[in-house]
Structures are given as C-alpha cells and as structure tokens.
Structure 1
Amino acid sequence: MINNFFRPAVVLNGQGSHAEIHYTSVTITESGLDEAANQLADAVAGHWNREAGSRRLLKSQVPVHWRVSRHRLTTRVAAATAERGSPRFPPLPGLAPVTEESLRAGGSLADLHRVYGGLASGRVMIVGPAAAGKTSAAVVLLRAALEHRAEPASMPYRSGIPVPVLVTLDGWAPDDAKRDVVDWAVERLSSMHKGHRYLRPLLDTGRIALFVDGFDEVGEEVRALAVAALESAPFRVVLISRTEEAAHTAERELPAGAVALELDPVRPADAAEYLLDSLDDPAPAAWQKLVRQLLEEPDSAVARALADPLTVSLLAEVYAPHGPVEEVLGLADADAIRDHLLDHAVAAAYTRKPRPRGCRPYAPETAERTLRYLATRLTEEDTTVLCWWRIPSWPGQRSRAWFTGTAVTVVYLTVVVLALTAWIGPLWAAGAALMGWTLGTVDAGIRMSRLHHEQQLTSAGWRDVLPVLAVLGGLFDWIVVSGVAWFGLRFAGYPQNLLWCCLLGLPFGFGGMLMRGRAADLVARTIVAPFPLARRAREWIPELETATRVLGPRDVWRHHTRMLFPLGLLAGGAVGLYAGVLAATSNGAGFGLALGVAVGIGHALMAGVLSNAAIATALTGVQLSVREGTPLRLMAFLDDAHRRGLLRASGPAYEFRHVRLQERLARRPQ
C-alpha cells in the first residue's frame, strides 16, 4: 500500500526564535512508515529509560492509585467507552476494551496502560494536585506503552500500536489559522526528535500518540483553544494537568470523550511499606516511631505531609537508612515537614554514598548556592524551563559583551598590525585595523544580541550540514567561478595562472556548499556567500534521513561546540582565503598571505566565537563563578545535577525536579 503525504521541512528563521514549516510532496510505502515508527520508538525508549533512571522510576516507586475524577472533567464515561456505539479508536492489539465498570473501579499506575490502550475515545487526562506524581505517572504509562509495543507477541500487529511521545504545550499558537494541531505537533516534535523525516504521516495515520504535559502552565485561553483543537486530532492524546486548572478549562471547553483519571493521595499503609523497604531489618527505633505515627494517627502532621509521592521519596532520600529522622517528628505541621525536606534535598543528593556513576565531587554548599541562583532567576522570569542557551542574557550582559568584544578586538588588532606592518607600514596597518574593528563591532553587536533568543538544534549531524547534493553544488560553484575568473582576467588583459583562479573560486564554492546545506546562518553577512539565491537552494535538496534520536540538553551543547564552532572557523578561513588570493594576484604571495590571515582571523572570530551560544554560556559560567561562586564549568554542573535527580531533562532544556523545589530554593535566604 502506498500513501501520499507532505513531508515537513522545519527551517529556523535567522534568530532561531520560531520555525517555518515548508511541505513537499513525498510518497511513502506502508512498510516505510512502519520502519520509521520503529526507529522513533527505539529512540524514545532509549531516552525515557535513561530519564526514568535519573527520576528514580526504574526501582521501587511510591504506590499511587487513581480513580475517575469527580470534578466534572468527564462528560459521560459510557460515551468514552462506546459500549453502546462505535469506538473512535479500536483497542490496541493485545488489550481488551475498557468498560465503564472497570473505570469506576479505579486502579494503580500499572493499570493506566490498560485504560490508555482500551479506551474507545482515545482521550485520557491524568490530573491531580501539586506533587501528586502526574508527570511520573505519565512516564510510567509511556514506558509501559513502549514495552507493550516491543513485545514479541505484538510483532504482527506492531503497525497498529502507536509510539507514545511526551511533549509540553509551550509554543502553541491556537489563533494561527494556518496551523492546525498536526502542524504544531510536527513543529514541536521536530525540535525534539532529530533525523526523523516522516513525523506528519506518522501523526496523520495515528502511529504516534501524543502525551501533552504542562497543560496547567499556559494561560486559560490557550488551554481552552488547545482542548478544542486536540479533539479533532487523528491520534490518541493524553493530557497531564493539575486538577484546578483542568476544572477551570472544563467550565469553558469540556474535552469531548475524555476520561479524567485523578491521582489519589498516597495511602498511609503504602507510604509505610515504601519507607520500610528502604530501611534495614529491623528498622531503627526512630523510624519505627514515625511509621507507627503514620499508620495510627491519620490526622498527624507526618501523615498529612506524606500524602504525596514527592514528600515520601524525599523523606527516604534525606534520612534513610540511618539518618536522624526524629528531626521530622518534632515539626509542628505538614508544611513545615515539606519545607524541611526540600531544604535538605540538595545536601542529601551531594552527600549520598556511593556517589552516582559519572557524578563529580561538588561541595554541597557550592551546589546549593548554584541551584538557588538558578531557581531565583527562573522564578523572576516566571518559568520552570531552564534553557542553558538563555543563561548568557542573565547577569551583566553589557559588561560581558564589552569584555568579550574587547578581547576579540585586541586579538584582531594585534593580528592585523603584525601581519600587515611589514607590507604597508605601521600607520596604514593601524588604519586598516581600526576600520576593520569599526565594521566588526557592529557585526559583533548584532550577533551577540541574538544569543538570548531560542537556539534550536538546526541539523542532525555533519552529513545533514553537508549532504552530497550540497557538496556537488559547491563543487559546481567552484568550477564555474574559477573558469569565469580565468577567462575574464585573460579577456581584460590580466591573464593569471589557473591555480590562482581556482584558489580565488574556492571560497565561493565553499560558501555555496554551506548555503545549500544547513549552515547558512553561519555565513550570513559575510562575503563568503555572495549568491542570495543559494539559500533558497536548500529547499530543493531532499531531506537527509539520519539516525533518529531524542534531543537532550547535552546534545544541543555538543552541536554548538563540536559542529557550529568549527564550521564558523571554516567560514572565516574561507573569507580569508578569498581576500588573500585577491591581494596576492596584484601584490604578491607574501602580502596576500598576510592580508588573508588578517581578514580570516576577524571573520573566524565573528562566525565561530561571537555567534556561538555554547561559548557565550561558557564565558557566562566564568562570570558567574566570580560573582556568585558557582562552578566554573556550568554546563557540566547542570549535567551532574541531572544525574543526581535534582534536575530533569525536558527536551533540550532542564527543569527542576519539581516546581516546589524551585520555589523553595528561590525563597530561601542566601
């Protein structure tokens, strides 16, 4: 069977702050879609297995139960199960249809997959109060869905089992009439899953199920419009939200056919069993006293505090197995216990023995000081998303820009003067350096002002930046320019050696190759890209299919340091080569070499250093280390905090383990 679809090609604008989606017709076989879905499933499973480990979801979990919400978030359960009508989505292979009776009975987290795969409406909401474990429940459900899809028994029916992907609702533009929910999903997934070509056809055929987190973190107007749009989505949808925000949205726009599953408070017996599993047998006397109070006094401060999974897990992490848990017993109320555990969460993570694999020996005081600073900045910006590429816009942007610009200028002026003094004299060399510095300062200001914008991963690898057709196009430009230069100079009466003409055309060929690939922004505003139409040529090159992977913060960091940085230096070298060959043609090889070095160094500093968000973030880390006492290598610290479970990866950005931890760190006195 053959299907005709439109392949999305997401092209970032010059500032990287939003994406434009262009569609070209593509024919895909049914087996091709199945293979694409399998590749996506492998990438998603690998990512969430690692992330589940950092969130401590691979071992024992705090037992959580759910029931159908009583907050008028569900229209009619009978309609959602379609027991008397036609189902919108058939049950997934290997699962039975969900009945109203089984829904009313409730269940544990292990039962969520049964509801997700057997609900006829294909619309599930996971709701609950703050710290109820909603996102953890969604991750457990997602991994269960992936495991079900990977079972050998599901092999013959795998094409009918969608790949679950977890996204957040940020970037939603419901007032844009040109974009429907599938357009938004394609754009959102394209920024998180690189190397995948068939996102739109996979969504259109229901081979992807969308898990939407952060529903409660956007405005009420956006939530209502998003609910209306998601009702028509041709794929299964799982929404994750706090109960209060979901109830407010339901007053305006009730999700048709959706069943809201509300997470119950942790039962005292379940909390006691979880805590005892983390202790030695027999448990220390203080722990026995705490467990006894938890079970026998349901109105005590301990019992009320341990009603959510976050507090239960924090108690085990901070004090188990031999910590002074009696400190908790002396606190007056539930809020005091929660705050006390949050205050000790960072120290516990950095003093835990043995240290998690791959973690660095940071001092607890340094870690807490750094995380407190980050939490304060995020709270001031009214966000929970920590995008490392936005950190350079935080502290003293002007002073750092001045320092960086001055350092670059000193290097540039020194190179120019040393390279050109022997050929044109110190006065002319200083004048040329001053003119270059004036023009370069304007360009540097423009480039550095763009660093605080959204920086997405713009390619899937070197083969994507320089695909075969782009290389062939650059080779064609090189031959044409070299030939035209050779014939043109001979016709004008200034015949030159063919080798010189080939060197003259080399920067044009290199620039054309970059412009036809995925690196056009690196050579923008430089003479290495003299053909405006070359940028349009990228849209005609077939999109390269590379290994699918889910992007994390480290992937975007490596993209800037290992790809964009050397490409920027190469672009500067091409400009220097162009200027050097021109100068050598009329003034000799020595002067051409000197001028080429002077010009090339300047453009390499602009394209490779001042335009690179990773370098700006590294310099910001130095500045913060001096001013705030944070670690010198800030990105390495963020990765370490993620390994210790204090931060979690949300696509290419970080978030605090829970918004409560962020709020508590931001409020604590410094």
Structure 2
Amino acid sequence: MDLAGDVRSVAEVYRRIRSGRLVILGRAGSGKSILTIRFVLDYLEDADLADKVPVIFSLGSWDPTAIALRDWLVDRLVRDHPHLARRAPDGGSLAAALVDAGLVLPVLDGFDEVAEGLRQASLEALNATSLPLVLTSRRAEFAEAVRAAGTPLVWAAGIELTDLALDDLVAYLPRTARPIVRGEGVGGDEGVRGGAVWEPVLDGLRDREGRAADVPLARVLNTPLMIVLARTLYSEGADRDPVELLDTERFPDEKSLEEHLLAGFVPTVYRGHAAELTAADQRRGERNRDRPRPRDGNRDPERAERWLGYLAHHLARLDRDQQDLAWWRIGGSVRLSTRVAAVGLASALSVAVSEWLIALLVIPVAFGETLLLGSLMGVCAGLSFGCVYGIMAAVGAGAFEPSYVRLRLHRRGQGVGRRPVRVFTTRFGTVLLGGFVMGVGCASSLALQRRLSYGIPLNERVIEGTLINMLAFGLIFGAGAGLVFGLLAVLEAPLDVASAATPAGLLAWNRTTVGRQVLVLVPALTLAIALDGYLVTGLLQEFLGPMNWELADGLLIGAVGGVGGALSYAFSFTAWGQWVILSRVWLPLTGKLPWDTVAFLDDAYHRGVLRQTGAVYQFRHIRLQHHLGRSYRERQARYAPAGFTGRN
C-alpha cells in the first residue's frame, strides 16, 4: 500500500488502511502533534454518521499497569467533557457507552512520552486489542519498545515524517517577516520588505548546500518546531538579525543553536506582545482609560519566564515527561508540610469565624469570651483537619480530582443495592474519625474557655465532666458528620452540565459544584448534630449519669459545626479548595506564581507558549517545557543558600 503524501492527505491515507490502525513516527519537533490535529479536522470534514469520532488523547499520562486502556479513555473523556459523565441506560456513563460501542477513534499522541519503564507494557496492552487507533511517537523510543516487546503494533500501517528541505525554508521564512520601517530592524531602510532579513541566511545555506556538516543551522532548521522558534525570534522581533545564526564560533553545534532558540522564545513573545499592546493603548488614548487592562506582571518577560519555569519544574517533579498541566494538581508542587499547615490554617479560620459570627448574632455574651472560644475551637479544628489531610496525603489519597455531582433520589421500586451500601459504609467510617476528633476538640475548647474566663479550678469533678463531654461531643460530631457525608455519597450522581472542555470551564464548574455542596452541607450538618445530640446523650446517660442537651443549644452548636465544617471540607478536601488556598494564595505569596493564575495561564495560551488539551494545559512542545524547567532549577541553585537541595 502506498502511504506517501503530505499533511493534507493524512486522513485520506488513513481511510485506505483496512485495520484502522496507523503509527506515525517522527523526530522531536517534526510536527507529529500538529499532524494529529490536521488529521482530526480533515477526518471530521469528510465523516458521515457511520464514522467514528476521532479524539486526541495525550498518551503520556497512561500507566498500563494501573488502568486498562478502555478505562483510561473513559476517564479522559469524562475529564475533558463533563457532560459525558451522565448515566447511560445501562447504568454506566455516556463516555463508557461511546467507547464500548466503538464510536470513538482514539488518536494517541506521544507514545514516547509514556514513562520509559512502561513503554513495553503500553505496546503489549495496545496489541491485546484490535481497536482502530492512530499512534504517534518518536522513532527511537518506539523502536526500543518494539525490540523489548518482540513485536510492533500489530495490524498497523506506518508512516514517518521526513525532514524539511531548504526549498521549504525559502518558501516559508521570507513570508513570515513583517515589513521593516525606518528606525527598526537591520539597516533601518524604509520600504525594505521584511523578507529581506532572511535573504543572507538563505543565501548562506544555499552556498553550503551539500555540506550540512559544516553548518549546524542546516541541521537545526529541518523541523517545524525549530523553524517556528526561529521565526518568532527573528521574523516577529525587530531588534534581532538572523545572520547571527550562521556564526559557527558562537554556535558550534546543533545543541547550542537549539538552546539559543529555546531560550529566546518566551522573552520574545512576551516582550513583543507587550510592545504591541503598549502601542495599541497609546493609539486608543483617552478612550482606553476606563477599560480594564492586563496586569503589567503578565507582560514582564522575566517574571513570566520564572513562573512558567516553576510550572515546568512542577511537571518534572511529577514525571520527567509529564505534560498535562492540570490546575487541580498545581498545589501538589508545594511540600506536604506546607500543604498540611495551609489546610490547618484555612480550617481554623473557617471554624473560628463561624463561631464568632453565630455567637455575636445569637448569644448575648461578652466579646472577649466569644473571641477566645472561637479561637480555641479554630485551633482544634485546624489540628483536626490538618491531621486528617496529612494522613490521607501520606497514604496517597491527598490528590483531589475535580468533581461534578448532583443529588439523585432513587426511583420507586429501585433497590438500594450493594454498591450504595458499600459507598455509605466507606464514607461514614472515614468521616466518623475526623468528626470524633473535631468533637473532642470542641469539648476541650469549652473547658479551656471556662477555665480562662471564669477561673474554674481543675478539680477531679471538672476533669471528669470534661472527659465525658469529650466522649459525648466526639460521638455527636462523628456520627452526625458521618451520616450526612455517607448519605451524600449514596445520592451523588454526575451533574448534568454542558461540556466544559477548557481548564477555565472545568474550574468554574467545580467552583459551582463545591458551592452547592456547601449549601447542602450547612443545614444537613446543623440538623444532624442537633438531633444526634439527643440520641447520644440519651444513650450515654444510662451509663454516665444525667446529661443536658437542649434543642436551642444543640442548634447553635450544630450551626457552628455545620458552617465551619462545610467550609473546612470545601477548602481541605476538594480540588477547588486546594486550588484557592495553594495556587491562589500560597504560591503567589512566595512569588512562584502570579496572583491571577487563571489569567496568566490563559494569556500564555494566547501567546502560544501553552496549548489547551481538553481540560488541561500543555507546553507548546516538551522540548520547551524541559528547557524552562531546567533553567528554573539552575536559577534556584545559583541563588539558593548553601545546603539547598533544589526541592520545594
């Protein structure tokens, strides 16, 4: 079968492959990812109702030893298209139904980005299925996996992207340069077309054609990635002369040239855009005074490069070839002790402020007593939630994925089944422990507040009463919170939402979801704690003597637990809450990210530094990501005090 062609014919070539399995190989920067985009667009343009829908998946996040290909595809679809989490008639998700029905054509981009130790297992898993697919990879990494597995991708055709030739440069680069006006560019001759700045370079390459070994530039400018970088630095910048690229003393080999192009990309796109925006603002003059303008920090090349470098370094810490820059995982770049402290502080403030507001509005007590009690309860809540978070993180359950849920009541005649019972039991047991610790802290705070405010001596009777209160409050808070969260787990169902296939869209939906959860949790926890108090005190007084639990007091205690507990849960154990306290507060405070991180990421996307892949960002190319991460680590090592290890 003749598979030769160009980027415009890849969809046509694919339709001639009867197995529907195609491998696309190419060098780093050869345009494999762009080819997949072109393939999807062309395939959809000529598709009919019987065709599969091609969907691009970044393969670097797949671990075939932990999750099957089918389940991973379903997870990626639900993440990038939340409306596919809705239930299908068979009880599964719409995403699972589409994959199982063979209506999705996986376009698996970046086989070489799978962890090196997992490539053989990945190829074997792909060979275990006859699923039609398109797979891209660098040639060397794919060949190594084939040798290890003993077989290539079965039933698959293969094509390889060839290097660009000098004729391609001659046809492309002169058209990318803007016209030169007096006072800018090389020579400053008014009326000279911008393409002229490339003529000396192209002439030099022509003169040495056939002797590429003597000209590193000839070997570098043969992939789309490097040509785009060269275009950005020299065609779009007015203060650079591309003739310097021919200087073999300054750039003796390919690596030095590539590092030069990579290092200049981010400063150029930010400096160039800043100049264009400033000039546009000046032309608009007075009309632009009352309109919002982007923050200057987002335009500063040095700070932008530092922030992007930190994000690239964060991805390297997750995995060297990890590319998915997910907003809900950025907080994971902060060391565990700092995250625990942030969670504890957020929980302490949530409970303390709740106690202060409710006490001042409802209970006519002195301000000092209210302030003291709220502070003590806040400290206990912070310690409680911080410890639970730390334990969860230590056992690997501290990464919280975005959730989009609604409450669903079971229809009449529909049995509860085993799965809801198991879900309820698991959630109840987990929350019971945390609630018990919170209740013990509440009883301890009350005892300490009475001691400090009224000078009640710590005699045997007081200590005995405090211990009884600790047991009672622990059971009340633990059982009440466990019941509420257990029932919510049973009634949770995927939220019926429109597609949120962008990072900002998923963040907005998650913020809305957390807000709805808080609105449900506050009254539910309040009533559960108030009513649970009657049951617990009624049972305990049979063994421990008379106990007092008035409805009014129970509602007040429940309100504090409801408001404070719901807010603490939102900030401590949801993806949006972790985003707020870590990515929007802590990292900007330490200078690692800007204050408006969402705007910065979106701005970097529009400048071409990042790209969007569903609900996550990725750097324009993994070579750029590695360069920024390495540069960030070098700066940290250069300015760090003695003994610095480079860890955050």
Judge same fold: TM > 0.5, yes or no: yes
Could you tell which deviates more after superposition, 635-644 or 623-632? 623-632
Give yes or no for contact 1:112–1:141 (8 Å, CA) kept in 2.
Answer: yes
1:614 aligns with one of 559, 576, 584: 576
Indicate how the Cα distance of structure 1 residues 123 and 454 shifts in structure 2: closer, same or farther if over 3 A, else same. Answer: farther
Deviations 1:108-149 (A, max 9, x none): 111211121111121111111211111111111112112222
**Matched letter for residue 458 of structure 1:** S
**Matched letter for residue 336 of structure 1:** S
Indicate how the Cα distance of structure 1 residues 546 and 617 shifts in structure 2: closer, same or farther if over 3 A, else same. Answer: closer
> What SS class does the counterpart of residue 289 from structure 1 fall into?
helix
Deviations 1:425-457 (A, max 9, x none): 887996797467536632343246657844333
**Matched letter for residue 193 of structure 1:** H
- Is 1:328 paired with 2:269? no
> What SS class does the counterpart of residue 135 from structure 2 fall into?
strand
Query: In the TM superposition, what are the counterparts of 1:488-499 in structure 2 within 5 Å?
Result: none
Q: d(CA) in 1 for partners of 2:146 and 2:359?
A: 72
**Matched letter for residue 407 of structure 2:** L
2:204 aligns with one of 283, 287, 293: 293
Determine which structure has the larger helix proportion and give its number. 2
Deviations 1:3-23 (A, max 9, x none): xxxxxxxxxxxxxxxxxxxxx
Aligned to 1:123: 21
Q: d(CA) in 2 for partners of 1:560 and 1:170?
A: 25
Shift of 1:638: 1.7
Could you tell which deviates more after superposition, 599-608 or 277-286? 277-286
Could you tell which deviates more after superposition, 253-262 or 625-634? 625-634
Q: d(CA) in 2 for partners of 1:260 and 1:172?
A: 22
**TM-score, length-scaled by structure 2:** 0.68
- Is 1:443 paired with 2:363? no
Shift of 1:163: 0.3
Aligned to 2:505: 555
**Matched letter for residue 121 of structure 2:** L
Shift of 1:396: 4.6
Give yes or no for contact 2:340–2:389 (8 Å, CA) kept in 1.
Answer: no
Query: In the TM superposition, what are the counterparts of 1:224-239 in structure 2 within 5 Å?
Result: 224-239=120-135
Aligned to 1:216: 112
Give yes or no for contact 2:484–2:528 (8 Å, CA) kept in 1.
Answer: no
Could you tell which deviates more after superposition, 631-640 or 240-249? 631-640
Indicate how the Cα distance of structure 1 residues 320 and 428 shifts in structure 2: closer, same or farther if over 3 A, else same. Answer: closer
Aligned to 2:593: 630
Could you tell which deviates more after superposition, 139-148 or 389-398? 389-398
Q: d(CA) in 2 for partners of 1:551 and 1:414?
A: 36
Q: Which runs of 5+ in 2 are unaligned?
A: 85-92, 180-191, 281-291, 436-477, 536-547, 636-648
- Is 1:457 paired with 2:457? no
Q: d(CA) in 1 for partners of 2:503 and 2:355?
A: 38
Deviations 1:295-336 (A, max 9, x none): 342322322221111110111122215442234333423322
Query: In the TM superposition, what are the counterparts of 1:72-471 in structure 2 within 5 Å?
Result: 100=1, 102-103=2-3, 106-149=4-47, 154=48, 158-159=49-50, 161-170=51-60, 172=62, 174-175=64-65, 181-196=69-84, 197-219=93-115, 222-251=118-147, 252-279=150-177, 280=179, 282-283=193-194, 285-298=196-209, 299=212, 300-321=215-236, 322-325=238-241, 326-330=243-247, 331-332=250-251, 333-353=253-273, 354=276, 361=296, 362=298, 363-381=300-318, 382=320, 383-399=322-338, 401-403=340-342, 405-406=344-345, 408-410=347-349, 412-413=351-352, 415-416=354-355, 419-420=358-359, 422=363, 434=376, 437-438=379-380, 441-447=383-389, 453-459=398-404, 465-467=406-408, 469=409
> What SS class does the counterpart of residue 389 from structure 1 fall into?
helix
CA RMSD of aligned residues (A): 4.0
Shift of 1:400: 5.2
Q: d(CA) in 1 for partners of 2:100 and 2:342?
A: 51
> What SS class does the counterpart of residue 33 from structure 2 fall into?
helix
Q: d(CA) in 1 for partners of 2:102 and 2:193?
A: 52
Give yes or no for contact 1:113–1:144 (8 Å, CA) kept in 2.
Answer: yes
Query: In the TM superposition, what are the counterparts of 1:459-608 in structure 2 within 5 Å?
Result: 459=404, 465-467=406-408, 469=409, 527-528=480-481, 530=483, 534=487, 537-538=490-491, 547=498, 549=499, 551-579=501-529, 591=553, 594-608=556-570
Q: How many residue pairs were aligned?
A: 508
**Matched letter for residue 313 of structure 2:** T
Give yes or no for contact 2:347–2:382 (8 Å, CA) kept in 1.
Answer: no
Indicate how the Cα distance of structure 1 residues 454 and 292 shifts in structure 2: closer, same or farther if over 3 A, else same. Answer: farther
Query: In the TM superposition, what are the counterparts of 1:650-661 in structure 2 within 5 Å?
Result: 650-661=613-624
Determine which structure has the larger strand proportion and give its number. 1
Q: Which runs of 5+ in 1 are unaligned?
A: 1-99, 478-511
> What SS class does the counterpart of residue 530 from structure 1 fall into?
helix
Q: d(CA) in 2 for partners of 1:276 and 1:207?
A: 44
Indicate how the Cα distance of structure 1 residues 567 and 230 shifts in structure 2: closer, same or farther if over 3 A, else same. Answer: same
